[in-house]
Amino acid sequence: MNVYWLEKSVADLPEQDEWLSRNDLAVLNGMRFGKRRADWRLGRWTAKRALAAHLNLPADFQTLAEIEIRPAPSGAPEVFVENEPADVTISLSHSSGFALCTVAASGVALGCDLEIVESRSDEFVADYFTAEEQALIRRAHASDRSQLVTLLWSAKESALKALHEGLRIDTRSVAVKPWAFRLQGESEHHAGASAVCRFQPSNGSGSWHPLHVRFGAGQIFQGWWQNANEILRTMVAVPSPSQPIPLFEAESCLQQLSSLQQK
């Protein structure tokens, strides 16, 4: 099963709002806080560009304004094009001036998350992670701890989005296993309790690695994670997804945006 992705930064955002629909503008104007408005605009811009690329639509502002992302009763994003439901599933995430959108076929349980790799406290780990995850973190090499904690947290966020639950439920109900994190220099079957776990060498910066997430008594999500330039991305889905495929935008669309921003 294919999942497509696109990422944008705040530097990509146009100053003008002509790409927003009338409904979008009503939502935006109802937001009181500047950061919330900025995050929402970036998320909508990223999603509209991703959907235009995925659906082979022009990326001019008029067409983008006809693409709307509306919240379902669960809070999950639903896509409409010219007020008609689109045959796609999306998931959105944003953090620190970056936004990520993943796109799959309709009916897919899909979730994605984007996080900046940063240090998190022992209290954070104790509050939000399972006993098995806490044990794995204790065995992590010091240089890998921040990446591992960020990865586990991000994968939980992705799975809770795929479940249409978000942080309304206990994050410890979701258990994450990242396959690229292994015991160093020893067989897992013969390692002592003090053996150190390390991230295995990747195929290069930006490589995607598989992960496995279990919810509750047995619901399983398969997914992928990537760390490039200390920006960590995760996505999970049911059915099991192949490695995420980047969305590419038409050069003419980018040239149009550049011309508009220079005016």
Residue 40 structural domain: 4-108+245-262
As a whole number of angstroms, the distance between CA 47 and CA 244 comes to: 16
Q: Are 94 and 69 in contact (CB under 8 A)?
A: no
| pLDDT at residue 218 in the model | 80
As a whole number of angstroms, the distance between CA 21 and CA 124 comes to: 39
| pLDDT at residue 208 in the model | 93
Same domain, 53 and 153: no
Tell me the pTM.
0.87
| pLDDT at residue 261 in the model | 47
Consecutive H or E run containing 49:
helix 34-54
SS3 annotation, 69-93: EEECCCCCEEEEECCEECCEEEEEE
Same domain, 104 and 14: yes
The one-digit pLDDT tens for each residue of the chain (263 residues) are 999 999 999 999 999 999 999 999 999 999 999 999 999 999 999 999 999 999 999 999 999 999 999 999 988 999 999 999 999 999 999 999 999 999 999 999 999 999 999 999 999 999 999 999 999 999 999 999 999 999 999 999 999 999 998 878 899 999 999 887 765 544 444 445 556 888 775 555 568 999 999 998 789 999 999 999 899 999 999 999 999 999 987 544 444 444 444 44
Q: How far apart are the first and last CA of the chain?
A: 42
As a whole number of angstroms, the distance between CA 237 and CA 223 comes to: 6
As a whole number of angstroms, the distance between CA 177 and CA 57 comes to: 38
Same domain, 151 and 189: yes
Same domain, 225 and 256: no
Same domain, 206 and 249: no
- In this structure, the number of other CB atoms found within 10 A of the CB of residue 185 comes to 9
According to DSSP, residue 59 is labeled -
Same domain, 88 and 164: no
| pLDDT at residue 255 in the model | 43
Torsion (CA) 59, 61, 65, 67 in degrees, nearest 10: 0
Same domain, 61 and 175: no
Q: Is beta strand 109-116 parallel, antiparallel or unpaired with respect to 231-238?
A: antiparallel
Q: Are 90 and 52 in contact (CB under 8 A)?
A: no
Same domain, 130 and 224: yes
Same domain, 258 and 196: no
Same domain, 173 and 258: no
Say which CATH number the domain at 141 has: 3.90.470.20
Per DSSP, the three-state class of 116 is strand
Same domain, 224 and 158: yes
- Which phi and psi angles does 57 have, rounded to 5°? -100, 155
| pLDDT at residue 180 in the model | 74
List residues bridging with 81 in a β-sheet.
Answer: 67, 84
Work out how many domains the chain is built from and give that number.
2
| pLDDT at residue 199 in the model | 78
Same domain, 199 and 87: no
As a whole number of angstroms, the distance between CA 224 and CA 208 comes to: 6
As a whole number of angstroms, the distance between CA 212 and CA 235 comes to: 10
- In this structure, the number of other CB atoms found within 10 A of the CB of residue 207 comes to 15
